[in-house]
Amino acid sequence: MNRFAELLDRLAYEPSRDNKSRLIIDYFRTAADPDRGFALAAMTGELTFAHAKPALVRALIAERVDPVLFAMSYDYVGDLSETVALMWPHPETSPDANPLGLGAIVETLHKTRKIDLPAQLSIWLDALDETGRWALLKLITGALRIGVSARLAKNAVAEFGNMPANEVEEVWHGLQPPYLDLFAWVEGRSDRPRTTDPAPFHTPMLAHAIDDVDFLGLDPRDFRAEWKWDGVRVQAVTGLDEHGQRVTRLYSRTGEDVSTAFPDMVDALAGAEFDNVTIDGELLVVRDGLVQPFSVLQQRLNRKTVSAKLIAEYPLHIRAYDLLMENGEDLRPLSFDERRPRLEALLARYRGGRIDLSPLVAFDSWQSLAAARASPENAGAGLDADAIEGVMLKRRDSIYIGGRPKGPWWKWKRDPFNIDAVLMYAQRGHGKRSSFYSDFTFGVWRENDGTDELVPVGKAYFGFTDAELLLLDRWVRNHTVSRFGPVREVNANKDEGLVLEIAFEGLNQSTRHKSGVAMRFPRIARIRWDKPARDADRLESLRKLLRN
């Protein structure tokens, strides 16, 4: 437990992904089975303990410390597990020196009846130090909050075994904690674990962004083109379990099972009565046959609960790009031109209206494709054009390769929107950037009571080079007019101010922002040292870009 507690402790404070990964790998290297497997389960959110609730922890501490001192301490610390971990009294007799393994704790917890849990927990808390108690309480109450995603933890397993990142993801859904077979495999002690999952995930194929120079070596006759839909990439999988029951799952592109977030889509898939199939597609909201822009789909994302009203107002739809598996046959070694008719045939048999085919875009030269990309509404997309963020180029002979191989697939996004805005506030960054002012809030002009004022329209923290960041940081330090904690307000008026050219993917109406607009994916395209602040854009011109 102490090793695991130390790991959680370091992870909680380490901001960098790479360093978090190093810490996890180091732990896998030095910790024993089954402890490390249960640690992996904790980090991937696969461990739950039904009986361990915060109320139980509160009751335990109430028996042991003065209630006034507890109230003052809790008020100061602000976190129950942490307060209890720090205040827990030292036991009168020195506890068993035998260090407790995480594995033993997890196995005991699963066996312990609810009524016996307080006594068991007290024994452990007596035996652990502050960090150990904190980790144990975080673990059992299921609130680790150490900034480690399931994907990061799984990738760390792969890296630990010198395997490509997605290898672990592919076998993951058939595995159970403490993952002895997984560790045996990545350490080269046994074969790849057999996937018994009837609806497993397959790593999706991703594309590289295409540059002007890339086109020089490409022949349009070798490629197919599709719209790049602005939704959420998903993988829909159906299969039969050992009892002959149909299993239907929806995965995110990182392999996370997102079925519970989109129950209506899973029902629609189950209702389609496909046999064993794996469909690669885009999750969209479609109303009255019209694909809605991403801002509408966003209402369905990151929801804890999914109400009937939400389902009715934001009807989901899958636009299918590819077919990976059909009736147990792996189609991935086939070419795009061989897979595509299989997908078309599958969807031709389906009558439900919730899944359809992503159409091909006709073109005979890069020029004609460029024209389609510039105005999809005139190239077959019609009113759906608002939900298109560019075109995809796929080699006709491309087999389906999980990951992001360079060459077979390309994405060619629509040009971003650009505005010139004025830097208003800068904030220190985190981690490596903690000594730099690297988060920039910018605004545009609008009229208020007869005078022009700047209104903030967005915040950007990338797009610039390291060299440019140095210059921006220096400019901020030399033009500060006031400070609020980590934030500096800089000189920004008609005569003095720094103009930033901001590129962004789209604009949505927003009631949460003073300006009434919210940018998608803003970044700093250029620093306009040359441009006077008075010539920056106005809110009126920005509002003209609003969709809908």
Partner 1 sequence: MAAHDILTQTPAGLYCQAGDFYIDPVRASPRALITHGHADHARSGHGAVMATRETLAIMELRYGADFTTTRQMATYGEKVRIGEAQVSFHPAGHVLGSAQILIELAGYRIVVSGDYKRGHDPTCTPFEVLRCDAFISEATFGLPVFRHPDARHEVGRLLDSCRAFPDRAHLVGAYSLGKAQRMLALIREAGWQRPIWLHGAMEKITELYRAEGVALGETRKIVGKERAKLGGEIVICPPSATRDLWARGFSDPVVAFASGWMRIRARARQGGVQLPLVISDHADWDELCATILDTRCQEVWITHGAEDALVHWATQRGLHARPLHLIGYGEEDDTEAEPAA
- Residue 446-485 contact track with partner 1, rule CB under 8 A, x = bound: ----------------------------------------
Q: How far is the CB of 89 from partner 1 (least distance, A)?
A: 9
Task: Calculate the alpha carbon distances from 463 to 88, 133, 469, 493 in Å.
Answer: 48, 43, 10, 24
Closest CB to partner 1 among residues 130, 356: 130
Asked whether position 78 contacts partner 1 by CB under 8 A, the answer is yes
> What is the helix (H) or strand (E) element at residue 509, kind and residue range?
strand 506-509
Selected range binding partner 1 among 77-85, 184-192, 275-283, 335-343, rule: CB under 8 A:
77-85
Q: How far is the CB of 68 from partner 1 (least distance, A)?
A: 5
Exactly one of 162, 435, 482, 548 binds partner 1 (CB under 8 A); which one?
435
CA dihedral 159, 162, 163, 168 (to 10 degrees): -40
β-partners of residue 410 are 208, 393
Asked whether position 76 contacts partner 1 by CB under 8 A, the answer is yes
57 vs 141: CA distance, rounded Å: 9
Q: Tell me, letter by letter, the H, E, C secondary structure of 363-417.
A: CCCHHHHHHHHHCHHHCCCHHHHHHEEEEEEEECCCCCCCECCCCCEEEEECCCE
Q: How far is the CB of 78 from partner 1 (least distance, A)?
A: 6
Exactly one of 114, 303, 432, 547 binds partner 1 (CB under 8 A); which one?
432
Exactly one of 33, 45, 58, 65 binds partner 1 (CB under 8 A); which one?
65
39 vs 2: CA distance, rounded Å: 12
Selected range binding partner 1 among 11-19, 159-167, 240-248, 299-307, rule: CB under 8 A:
11-19
- Residue 126-165 contact track with partner 1, rule CB under 8 A, x = bound: ---xx-----------------------------------
Closest CB to partner 1 among residues 22, 513: 22
376 vs 98: CA distance, rounded Å: 68
Give φ, ψ of 543 to 5 degrees. Answer: -65, -25
Q: Transcribe 429-466 into DSSP letters.
A: -SGGGTTSEEEEEEEEEEEETTEEEEEEEEEE--SS-H
Asked whether position 87 contacts partner 1 by CB under 8 A, the answer is yes
Asked whether position 69 contacts partner 1 by CB under 8 A, the answer is yes
Tell me the three state secondary structure of residue 504. Answer: strand
Exactly one of 208, 224, 233, 428 binds partner 1 (CB under 8 A); which one?
428
219 vs 73: CA distance, rounded Å: 69
The residues binding partner 1 (CB under 8 A) are 10, 12-16, 19, 22-23, 26, 65-66, 68-69, 72-73, 76-79, 82-83, 86-87, 129-130, 428, 430-432, 434-436
